[in-house]
């Protein structure tokens, strides 16, 4: 079953290795989220944020649990600019 992450990654012609490198998310994590072996809504917001940023999309493009995303976005806005 294709995941949103998998579909977005393929539509941008990004390999798993490239996504791992650009996002700085562990290869094993990227693989399990991309394949659907692990539900991305259970990943940390940091992981979702890094993957979304690497793909040039907003985090909610990857996660369907919008209340969780909205709450986490408030925390990101409070981060210093160098971490965004």
pLDDT in tens, 3-30: 889 999 999 999 999 999 999 999 999 9
pLDDT score for 67: 60
pLDDT for residue 68 is more than 80 = no
Please give the average per-residue pLDDT across 37-66, as a whole number.
Answer: 87
Please give the average per-residue pLDDT across 32-48, as a whole number.
Answer: 90
What is 4-83's CATH superfamily? lambda repressor-like DNA-binding domains (1.10.260.40)
Q: Bigger pLDDT: 68 or 53? A: 53
DSSP state at residue 63: -
pLDDT score for 45: 86
Domain boundaries along the sequence of the chain = 4-83
Residues 6 or more apart in contact with residue 37 via CB below 8 angstroms: 31
Mean pLDDT (the chain, rounded): 84
């Amino acid at each position: 079953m294709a995941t949103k992450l998998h579909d977005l990654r393929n539509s941008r012609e990004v390999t798993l290795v490239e996504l791992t490198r650009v996002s700085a998310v562990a290869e094993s994590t990227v693989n399990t989220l991309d394949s659907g072996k692990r539900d991305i809504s259970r990943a940390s917001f940091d992981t979702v944020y890094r993957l979304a940023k690497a793909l040039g999309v907003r985090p909610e493009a990857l996660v369907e649990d919008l209340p969780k995303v909205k709450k986490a976005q408030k925390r990101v806005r409070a981060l210093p600019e160098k971490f965004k």
